[in-house]
Amino acid sequence: RRDARARAYEYRLLVGPPSPLRRHRVLRHHGPPPDLEAMRAAARLVEGQHDFRAFTPTETQHVFFDRTVTRCAWEARGDELVLCVEADAFLRHMVRVLVGTMLVIGRGRWDPERMARLLEGAPRAQAGPTAPAHALTLVGVRY
């Protein structure tokens, strides 16, 4: 595990009608579709080396919060929006809090630029909610 140079995850958001066959692999988004361009703008800000303290639980065993994200992008795949993220390492719940924060941005409650402020080591309480785990998938590990 410690020899991995990068890990890649996908988080799937269903924006179409409910799908009984995918209900355990996607997060069903209720209401109007989120603003994909705003979420893409927020995702672009995540790329690079940042302090991800706002994206992990307050009570954590982590002592080092800097991570380098090499890819963070939303893709439209049919009736799903998929966040594709790759980094050298991840904090506990990091991707799920990123998704929750981007969904708040996509619903128009926060400006995408808020993401830049969060990535400067803001406290956890300033980020969005933690998205459910069932829609998160590890898709690759590079050694």
- Residue 15: the pLDDT is 94
Q: CA neighbours within 13 Å on the CB side: how many for 103? A: 26
- Residue 39: the pLDDT is 98
- Residue 59: the pLDDT is 83
CA angle 99, 73, 46 (to 5 degrees): 70
- Residue 60: the pLDDT is 78
Stretches where the chain sits below pLDDT 70 are 1
pTM here is: 0.94
Dist. CA 56–CA 107, nearest whole Å? 22
- How distant, in Å, are the alpha carbons of 2, 14, 25, 92 from that of 59? 23, 31, 28, 11
Q: How many CB atoms are located within 10 Å of the residue 128 CB?
A: 23
- How distant, in Å, are the alpha carbons of 9, 39, 100, 125, 137 from that of 62? 20, 27, 21, 17, 22
